């Protein structure tokens, strides 16, 4: 892979993190009005329409699924779409987006450990240090420089839901790496989105989505569209491109920019101040991402 191609991948992963930072704000707004199953279904119904359109435009068709790909694709839809989003909306209905982001920041640690075990991705000392530093930076940002304070309370139901998001995303990332040996990132995301949307349809209907459909506000619909298009269509495709190009461990490090981008977006959208802890945390995340992608790390140091 050329340096210019790698740079494009890194830029896409960074922008994806910004989009996903916005999903916490959009998700929080949507969760106030829309049930978790309904919100998740509408998000991926919208995403599926765009994904199918893009897939047919680029690939001229939706490639047929081979027998051995059926179960992995179903697992993709049920982990990264169904379970992740149900837990995401349930969690955001209970706890603040910032606290949820702290828990989500543990994603790279679990992905790196499982990727090292399952795919033999090398986990060198510097790479592990990068993981720890970037996660610590994300926590400092969200906790506003006082990480001990967020640990004082007992783990509640909301925190448990968000931790289930982490486990769902770890499974989605690692299963996706295996699936993309035969399918492109775009096709993989399209199939997983379809599977997840189909799986969410009945629970959303039983939740009362049809009865409440016309009562959702413009804010809720804008939030759902943002989640569906920017948080899913663009974000998922670019994230999978990153996994395929540089590996699950390195790609997952950019997830640590998600809580930081959420704080920055809150500054512009909600007039929240940019604090000293945000600056320090940003530097730590950047250092962590650099360490996991540096030449020395690739040589195994």
The Cα 177–Cα 237 span in angstroms is 13
Confidence check: pLDDT of 300 > 50: no
DSSP code at position 81: I
Confidence check: pLDDT of 281 > 90: no
Question: Is pLDDT larger for residue 97 or for residue 20?
Answer: 20
pLDDT bucket at 244, cuts 50 / 70 / 90: confident
What is the CA 169 to chain-centroid distance, rounded? 7
> Does any domain span residue 235?
yes
Question: Is pLDDT larger for residue 97 or for residue 219?
Answer: 219
pLDDT bucket at 299, cuts 50 / 70 / 90: very low
Q: Of the ranges 120-129, 149-158, 180-189, which one carries the lowest mean pLDDT score? A: 149-158
CA angle 257, 72, 187 (to 5 degrees): 65
The pLDDT assigned to 193 comes to 93
* pLDDT winner (highest mean) among 16-30, 53-67, 86-100, 242-256: 16-30
Q: What is the span of the domain harbouring residue 163?
A: 3-106+155-247+257-272
Mean pLDDT of 110-124: 76
The answer to whether residues 89 and 36 touch, using CB atoms and an 8 Å cutoff, is: yes
How far from 268 is each of 60, 74, 235, 261, CA to CA, in Å? Answer: 40, 39, 21, 11
pLDDT bucket at 282, cuts 50 / 70 / 90: confident
SS3 104: helix
> Does any domain span residue 188?
yes
What is the CA 269 to chain-centroid distance, rounded? 21
The pLDDT assigned to 301 comes to 41
The answer to whether residues 62 and 267 touch, using CB atoms and an 8 Å cutoff, is: no
Please give the biggest Cα pair distance in the chain: 59
Nearest CA-CA partner of 63 in 237, 189, 183: 183
Question: Is pLDDT larger for residue 247 or for residue 207?
Answer: 207
> Does any domain span residue 282?
no
For tokens 């802890």, the residue is 277
The Cα 40–Cα 52 span in angstroms is 18
The answer to whether residues 236 and 189 touch, using CB atoms and an 8 Å cutoff, is: yes
The pLDDT assigned to 258 comes to 84
The pLDDT assigned to 293 comes to 66
Q: What percent of the chain has pLDDT over 70?
A: 93
pLDDT bucket at 51, cuts 50 / 70 / 90: very high
The Cα 76–Cα 73 span in angstroms is 5
Average pLDDT of the chain is: 85
Counted domains in the chain: 1
Name the region of 160 (left: φ>0; alpha: ψ -120 to 50; beta: rest).
alpha
> Does any domain span residue 301?
no
Question: Is pLDDT larger for residue 274 or for residue 258?
Answer: 258
Report which secondary-structure segment, H or E, holds 51: helix 36-59
Dihedral Cα 173, 175, 176, 179, nearest 10 deg: 170
Tell me the whole-structure pTM to 2 decimals. Answer: 0.80
The pLDDT assigned to 151 comes to 62
The pLDDT assigned to 70 comes to 92
Task: Look up residue 125 and give its two tokens.
Answer: 């000392």
The pLDDT assigned to 149 comes to 65
Task: Look up residue 187 and give its two tokens.
Answer: 């096709």
The pLDDT assigned to 153 comes to 54
């Amino acid at each position: 892979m050329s340096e210019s191609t790698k740079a494009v991948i890194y830029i896409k992963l960074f922008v994806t993190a910004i989009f996903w930072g916005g999903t916490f704000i959009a998700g929080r707004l949507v969760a106030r009005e829309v049930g978790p199953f309904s919100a998740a279904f509408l998000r991926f119904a919208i995403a599926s329409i765009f994904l199918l359109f893009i897939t047919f435009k680029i690939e001229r068709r939706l490639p047929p699924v081979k027998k051995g790909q059926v179960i992995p694709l179903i697992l993709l839809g049920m982990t990264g779409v169904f379970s992740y989003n149900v837990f995401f909306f349930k969690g955001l209905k209970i706890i603040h987006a910032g606290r949820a982001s702290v828990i989500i920041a543990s994603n790279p640690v679990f992905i790196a450990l499982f990727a090292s075990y399952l795919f033999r991705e090398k986990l060198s000392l510097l790479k592990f240090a990068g993981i720890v530093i970037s996660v610590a930076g994300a926590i400092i940002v969200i906790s506003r420089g006082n990480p001990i304070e967020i640990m004082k309370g007992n783990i509640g139901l909301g925190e448990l839901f968000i931790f289930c998001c982490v486990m769902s995303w770890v499974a989605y990332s690692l299963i996706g790496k295996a699936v993309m040996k035969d399918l492109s990132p775009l096709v993989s995301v399209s199939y997983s989105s379809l599977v997840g949307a189909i799986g969410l349809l009945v629970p959303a209907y039983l939740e009362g989505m049809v009865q409440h459909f016309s009562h959702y506000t413009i804010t809720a619909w804008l939030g759902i569209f943002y989640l569906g298009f920017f948080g899913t269509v663009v974000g998922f495709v670019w994230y999978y491109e990153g996994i395929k190009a540089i590996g699950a461990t390195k790609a997952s490090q950019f997830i640590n920019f998600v809580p930081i981008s959420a704080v920055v977006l809150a500054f512009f959208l909600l007039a929240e101040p940019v604090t000293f802890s945000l600056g320090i945390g940003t530097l730590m995340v950047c250092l962590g991402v650099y360490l996991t992608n540096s030449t020395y790390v690739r040589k195994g140091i």
